[in-house]
Amino acid sequence: MADTVITTEQEAELTGEERAALRRERDAKAVAAAKETRTPTVVVDDVHIVYKVHGASAGKGSATSALSRLISRKRSPAITEVHAVRGVSFTAYKGEAVGLIGSNGSGKSTLLSAIAGLLPTEKGGIYTNGQPSLLGVNAALMDDLTGERNVVLGCLAMGMSPEQVKARYQSIVDFSGINEKGEFINLPMRTYSSGMAARLRFSIAAAKTHDVLLIDEALSTGDQAFQRRSEARIRELRKEAGTVFLVSHNNNAIRDTCERTVWIETGKLIMDGPTEEVVGMYERGERP
C-alpha cells in the first residue's frame, strides 16, 4: 500500500506482534479499497455442490462382495451423495489475490473446480467476469506425450496462437527449470517426478495473463527456489489485472501472496476477511 509509510529497516525493528498488527492494517485497507473501487470478477452466491458417487456401499470392489452380489442377484449398490459445499457466498474483485484455507476435505478444491466451471452447482450460482483457469496438481497434462508437446498443447488450449506459442516456448521451459537436470523436456511426462510435473504445469499456466487464475496447492510441490519464483510470478499476474485464488496448506505462502482469505470447513464459510486476521485465527484454532 502506497500510503503505509514505513521503511523496510523500520519494519525489521518491529516485534512479531507489531509486524502482525501492521500487516492486519495493510490487509484491511486493501480489502476495503477493493470493495469500494473495483469491478467484481467472481461472484459465488449461496453455492451448494453435491457429488454423486455410484455404487459406494461398504464392501464394494472386494471379490467376496461381488460374488455374494452375483449369488443373491442384487443390483449394484445405489448412489451415495456427498454434500461437499453447503451455501458458500462471497465476491472477489479485480486485482485481488484471495487465499482459500480449511482442513482436509473441507471443500476447497471442489469450490475451485466449480468456479472454473468444471463442476455443476446443486443450488446457487457462480458468476465470473472473464475466463477462469484452474491450475491444480491434478490438472490434465498428457502422460504419454513429451513435456514439449504438453507445453505446446497447453498454450494452444489457453487460446494462444501458434506464433505466440513459439515465442513463449523457451521462456516457459526455462521458468519450469525442467531441463536443469538433463533434456527432460523431450521425454514423456510419465518420466517426471510429481514435483517436476507440477512445475511444468504452473509454468504453462503462468505464461499467460489470466482474468481469473485458480491455483490449487501448485506451489507446495515445487522446491524452495521454484516456490519463490512462482510466488513472484503470482504477484505479477495480479498486477496484470486478474484475480488470483490460492488454495494452500502453507499459511506463509498465503500470507505472502494474498491480502484476503476465505476459510471454509465442512463446506461452510467460517470467515472471510483480511488474511492476517483469518489465518491468525485458523492457526490458533479459534473460531470467530
Ligand X SMILES: Nc1ncnc2c1ncn2[C@@H]1O[C@H](COP(=O)(O)OP(=O)(O)OP(=O)(O)O)[C@@H](O)[C@H]1O
What angle do helix axes 162-176 and 147-157 make, rounded to 10 degrees?
130
Using the rule CB under 6 A, give the single segment among 99-107, 151-159, 195-203, 232-240 that binds ligand X: 99-107
The CA–CA distances, whole Å, from 213 to 42, 49, 160, 223, 284 equal 11, 21, 16, 21, 29
How many angstroms separate the Cα of 212 from the Cα of each of 55, 112, 243? 36, 11, 5
Q: Is 106 in the site for ligand X (CB under 6 A)?
A: yes
29: CB partners within 8 A, 6+ apart = 1, 3, 4
Closest approach, Cβ 111 to ligand X, in A, equals 7
Assess 108 for contact with ligand X (CB under 6 A).
Answer: yes
Q: Which helix (H) or strand (E) holds 155?
A: helix 147-157
- Applying CB under 6 A, what is the total number of residues that bind ligand X? 12
Q: Which of residues 150-189 bind ligand X (CB under 6 A)?
A: none
Query: How far apart (Å, rounded) are the C-alpha atoms in residues 263 and 213?
Result: 18
Work out which of 110, 221, 227, 275 binds ligand X, going by CB under 6 A. 110
Segments of the chain assigned E as strands = 40-54, 79-93, 97-101, 123-128, 132-136, 212-216, 243-247, 260-265, 268-274
* Of the candidate residues 102, 132, 136, 177, the single one contacting ligand X (CB under 6 A): 102
Nearest approach, Cβ of residue 279 and ligand X (Å)? 15
* Separation of alpha carbons 159 and 139, rounded Å: 17
Burial grade of 202 (CB within 10 A; 0-12, 13-18, 19 or more): buried
Can you read off the three cell numbers belonging to residue 213? 487464475
Nearer to ligand X, 104 or 194 (CB): 104
CA quadruple 262, 265, 267, 268: dihedral sign:
negative
The reply to whether 104 sits near ligand X by the rule CB under 6 A is yes
Binding partner of residue 67 among Mg ion, ligand X, none, CB under 5 to 8 Å per kind?
none
Residue 154's binding partner out of ligand X, Mg ion, none, with CB under 5 to 8 Å set by partner kind: none
Summarize as ranges the residues that interact with Mg ion (CB under 5 A): 109
Query: Which residues ranging from 69 to 98 are in contact with ligand X (CB under 6 A)?
Result: 82, 84
Q: Residue 275 touches which of ligand X, Mg ion, none (CB < 5 to 8 A by kind)? A: none
Q: Quote the cell numbers at residue 209.
A: 495473463
55 binds, among Mg ion, ligand X, none (CB under 5 to 8 A by kind): none
Q: 30 or 84, CB closer to ligand X? A: 84
Work out how close the CB of 262 gets to ligand X at its nearest, in angstroms, rounded to a whole number. 12
Phi, psi of 175 (to 5 degrees): -60, -40
Residue 61 Cβ, how far from ligand X at the closest point, in Å? 15
Q: Which of residues 45-64 bind ligand X (CB under 6 A)?
A: 51, 53
Q: Which stretch binds ligand X (CB under 6 A): 34-42, 106-114, 178-186, 233-241?
A: 106-114
Positions that interact with ligand X (CB under 6 A): 51, 53, 82, 84, 102, 104-110
